[in-house]
Chains A and B, each alone.
Chain A
Amino acid sequence: MDDDAEIIAEFLVESHENLDQLDRDLVDLERDPGSRELLSSIFRTIHTIKGTSGFLAFNRLEALTHVGENLLSRLRDGQMEMTGPVTESLLSMVDTVRALLESVEASGNDTAAAVDVDTVVNTLRQVLEGAEGPSPAAEEPAEDRARPDAAEPTPVVEASAEPVSDPVEEPEEALVEPAREDDVDEVADHAAGGVVAEVGDAGLVEAAELDAGEPERVHPKLGEILVERGIVSSADIEEALAEQSAADQGDDTARRGVVDSSVRVDVDLLDSLVQLVGELVLTRNQVLQRTESQDDIELVRAAQRLDLVASELQEGIMKTRMQPIGQVWSKMPRVVRDLAVQLGREVDLQMEGHDTELDRSLLEALKGPLTHLVRNALDHGIETPADRTAAGKSAQGRLLLRSFHESGQVVIEISDDGKGIDPDVIARVAIERGVITRDQAARMETREIVNLIFRPGFSTAAEVTNVSGRGVGMDVVRTNIERIGGTVDMQSQVGVGTTCRVRIPLTLAIIPALVIGEGEETYAIPQANLVELVRLEAEDMTRNVEEVAGAPVLRLRGHLLPLVSMAEVLGRTRPEADALTVVVVQADDMRFGICVDKVHDTQEIVVKPIGRQLKLLPTYAGATIMGDGRVALILDVPGIAHAHAIAQQSAAASRPADGVVAGAADSTALLVLEVGGQRAALPLREVSRLEEFTLDRIEKSGNAEAVQYRDGILPLVRLAGAIGLVERVRDDDQVSVVVHESGATRIGIVIDRVLDVVDAAVVRSDVGRRAGVLGSAVIGDRVTDLVDLDAVVALSGVGA
């Protein structure tokens, strides 16, 4: 009902605006009766009200506007002439519509007996049939008219409240006779509530004719006429008077509730206000900086006031762009209901946090993904009633939508109590599809596995959907959410349910960012991409930063992290340094480090667009203005990842935006090496270190080879032999060793040499499949064996 109320409120605001326009149009029309344009405009307005009232089941309103619409369409099509009576009947219709709307506003329905729709409808019909003319009532002599009352119009209004509650036996008589147009207008002007407007309007229709004959007559108050005719008692009139004057005031405030308390504002205007405030804030920052060093106490005080006011203004302006999430949710009951019927599910939909607000542009962008997630929960989460009963749950499934603010973000949760997602199934399917390797799967946490459903390679495969029970297009959901700076995470417990958690920033215009320095320049990295900061000095640096075929990588907690320096990002040459500050960032599925000169601090920055000359550069997402008024560029982390070593063309090709290649897996970082004169590849995440040993360090224990390494023994396995190749003898007395760690087990894999580190979408084929080799794939334009590390480790007899 909440949602209905909201829709009705919107309908009221809109309709009242339309009616004001209508009044103006009708008056203009009288001056210019032939104007098709005006007639069309009026027709459209009435048509809109009719449509919406039909939709909201306001039957009387619909009936009234329907007749009005018929009349208008005939006028518009030139089948009827615009005459005085026609105009008046239309005006009375508009007033009745207004009265009905007021009744809707007051009571939520249009059934108020006080509003006499039938009379107006009849009048309109008469006009429509060309049967308009002075009604018999108008001819009755009006000898009751006694007292002049022009000075006191209000009682006229008030008195009428009573009779209308039971439609008077002879309404036309009572109303038409005494009415002069002026009076009627006054009545309408002072109408408090729909009642009076209606009474006045009925009279309006024939008032013109009456008027002409008796211009100098004075008219009595309506109430007095009614009393004299015995329709109401004078006591009733008194009572009505009191009620009305009370209601008059009360009504005013009540009405302001919906119609007058909101103003429609152009979004462009709001956007420009946001921009101006952004500018004001920056100017304020500059002023504050300058006044800090001033002795002028008055100036300092003024600056402080400016500071406060600007902050409040900023807050207020940002609020104007906020809209409650209820707008999106109001669609959900219908979606859920339809889908539940279609799928034969029973669903109890609950929604919490309707008022959680977020930026309207974000709200717009969220509609699609949220609807998709809700559909998914129904389609694949909640079981059929039979299955639920069999599983010992209630037949009716529960779907809960929650939204709330948490640490400056909006969190939206979609939880169901369905069958959940089985990580084993997901993992199996993901391995089958080549999305991840068996080894990766073994290392992944349950949660990571569940979230594999968001991988493009995973969800585009139709058969996967059937097995896994989660839908096609989840990757699109994630892409859309990430596009607006959000994240999505799935948590599930088999048999208990699934919760999908979407986090989005409050607004796109202002984001938190890490400000870094590179030489004299300043750049900002959006916090959303930030993972951690790592500082490496002297010894740490030489030990943990290595080069693989010229590409620097950082050994960070057992994994190799590709590094790119700011200088490289900016298209300069990488400088030599004896210490490193690494900003670890994450973009899509890639994690890498950016080496920077200085880290300043984190700031809320206002994102501003950059000109089209720079749009094509992958490096920048936009620009912002710092406290000192200077412009700073915002780095586009995904763009950098794709433009630099971290992701190569092959990986870019697998991005959803570029069209998903059939069967393509997500990109994986691979260590490409040469062994026995052939190319082979290992997943980079399995590599914990690369070493070179001189041959004399290799010692033997039985048949096994090993080296002393970091206060322990590193068993060696010759990869060439393990995968059925002939080892090549190197002429420099050195061996290249890939150190692989798995739990407590450490093993050195002897190879010829390292060729490259690439990030590639691996499409595995069975060509070359044999012991120790999973198959082959085209990596860097050449067929490369994919090493089955598990098999190789097993072969070495270490740890297996």
Chain B
Amino acid sequence: MARSLQYCTFWVDGLFFGVEVSGVQEVLRYQPLTVVPSAPEAVQGLINLRGQIVTALDLRCRLGLPPRPEDALPMNVIVRSRGEVVSLLVDDIGDVITVDTSPGGLEIEPTPANVPSTVQDVVSGVLALPDAILLVLDADRAADVSVVPQPTGGTP
């Protein structure tokens, strides 16, 4: 039986990522953000997704990549992670690609060891497509942003 997986693809700082479509709720253009002061750095803000409040995480920041140019507006990849909906801010959206994963087809390979650890951290493996290398994103790990204790700025 032929097995195949579909990936929703996107670019972050020139890197080509894919996340399984079953975990993706939708893709949205830039949405106005409400900043959350003292939140972890990767949290860019909150968006109003038809009445639901969704945390927007900047993948560039999460991956330890340089910040997006000021004039470039990010796109939202809305993914489901552990019962919550999270928006991943990416540079640009690619196609949905179908990968044949049946025996003889493509296999997810371990991430090459020389990829920066910040990227490895959120990638579950790579798919060597004929024309590109797709980094398979683990949405749960990408959405995990530990809270860095913030200076409260208070006096004694």
Contacts and interface: CB of A to CB of B under 8 A. Distances in A.
B150 interface: yes
**A-side binding surface: helix, strand, loop or mixed?**
mixed
Nearest to B153: A568
A412 B143 CA distance: 44
Contact of A625 (B39, B51, B84, B143): B51
A614 B145 CA distance: 9
B28 interface: no
A617 interface: yes
A645 B40 CA distance: 22
**B-side binding surface: helix, strand, loop or mixed?**
loop
Given A608-B52, A610-B55, A611-B86, A620 B36 contact: yes
A71 B137 CA distance: 59
B139 interface: no
A711 interface: no
A574 interface: yes
A644 B51 contact: no
Interface string A618-642: 0110010100011111000000000
B45 to A, nearest CB: 8
A614 B40 CA distance: 8
A108 to B, nearest CB: 46
Given A608-B53, A611-B54, A625-B53, A572 B156 contact: no
B155 interface: yes
Given A549-B156, A648-B156, A633 B151 contact: no
B46 A631 contact: yes
Interface in B125-156: 143-145, 147, 150-156
Given A549-B155, A571-B152, A614 B55 contact: yes
B82 interface: yes
Contacts of A643: 152, 154
A550 B155 contact: yes
Contacts of A611: 53-55, 84, 86
B43 to A, nearest CB: 6
Contacts of A521: 34-35, 37
Interface of A: 275-276, 278-279, 282, 521, 549-551, 564, 567-568, 570-574, 608-614, 616-617, 619-620, 623, 625, 629-633, 643-645, 648, 756-758
Interface of B: 32, 34-40, 42-43, 45-48, 50-55, 57, 82, 84, 86, 143-145, 147, 150-156
Given A633-B36, A758-B156, 18 more contacts: A275-B51, A276-B51, A279-B50, A567-B153, A568-B153, A570-B37, A610-B53, A610-B55, A611-B84, A611-B86, A612-B84, A614-B36, A625-B48, A631-B48, A633-B34, A644-B152, A644-B154, A756-B156
27 contacts: A276-B51, A279-B50, A521-B34, A521-B35, A571-B37, A571-B38, A571-B152, A572-B37, A608-B51, A610-B53, A610-B55, A611-B54, A611-B86, A613-B42, A613-B43, A613-B147, A614-B36, A614-B39, A617-B36, A625-B53, A631-B47, A633-B46, A643-B152, A643-B154, A645-B156, A648-B156, A756-B156
